[in-house]
Amino acid sequence: MQNRFFEIFRLTAYSLGLVYVCSFFYSVIFLAFVNNSVLGDRIPEDQLLPLYEEYWEGKMDFSTMLAEYEKIVTPIKEQFQKEITENPGLLLSQFYDKVFSEKPHYLLGHSIPWFLCYVGLGYLLYKKVLQIPVTNLQDELSVPILLRGIANGFLCFIVVVLFGLALERLSIPVESGVFAKKLYEAIHGNAYLLAWGIYVVGIITGILEEIFFRGFLLKAFIDKGLAQEGLFIVSLIFGWLHYGEGTSIAIPFIICGVGMFFGYIYIKTGNIWIAMACHATYNSLGLINAYLQLPGVQS
């Protein structure tokens, strides 16, 4: 009993530590990308292009060009930083407005840092440093396997929609964060954004999150004979990470339940691809639901 409790404590500490480290590096990279994207839209190219042209034509040396560049850009940067300091939520709000209206491929600005920080760095820390076995993605992969995952994804989505409607009938607020709200508003009738959304938010995110949460964190518990304990702990972490600014308290609990379903599928089948297909289907159905503006939970 003592050894069992120690293993639960140890793996929980490792899980939380890994999430903290990966989240820190992800936040640094993602926010730098967001900051540069939003600030870049404010810098007037029509004023900068003549500087570049004069420099390349040899009419202006580099130090002079840099000084002129700073004269133009510095006031804009200072005003930008002032606005962000006064209203921290403005940065992400403006970024998502840009992504969903003009540049849906910027959704990869989420996925690429997520892959690098959670999957890449997570693998190095868990597998190489802590010597904890993780998924090697060698589970059986076939059409029946994927169809099984897709079917479970449909089931999970239907249950969540019904549960969300029940909460609304009880006047319990079910509000998602800034990202989900803006995506829900922008994707209605926008087939191009829907396609990018399914590709990035649906498929890529579903795959990456399953590798990390089920293939790394939950597998560590399973290998120690602590599947049930791991299912509960990892699902709580999964729900907690989906809580953010503007999110009602109901959302992380719903996502925790969804994570338990994905984890149960992984424990029962021992196949990470089924969990991935299930997760990707669930995410994609949520986007299709938003595209059609049907009732349901925006999560």
Lowest mean pLDDT, pick from 15-24, 108-117, 165-174, 200-209? 165-174
pLDDT above 60 (res 296): no
Average pLDDT over residues 177-193: 90
How far is the C-alpha of 95 from the C-alpha of 99, rounded, in Å?
6
Percent of the chain with pLDDT over 90: 66
User: What pLDDT is recorded for position 213?
Assistant: 98
The string of pLDDT tens digits covering residues 16-72 is: 999 999 999 999 999 999 999 998 888 888 888 888 888 888 888 888 888 888 888
pLDDT above 80 (res 191): yes
User: What is the reported pTM?
Assistant: 0.90
Greater confidence, 293 or 149?
A: 149
User: What pLDDT is recorded for position 173?
Assistant: 81
Summary mean pLDDT of the chain? 92
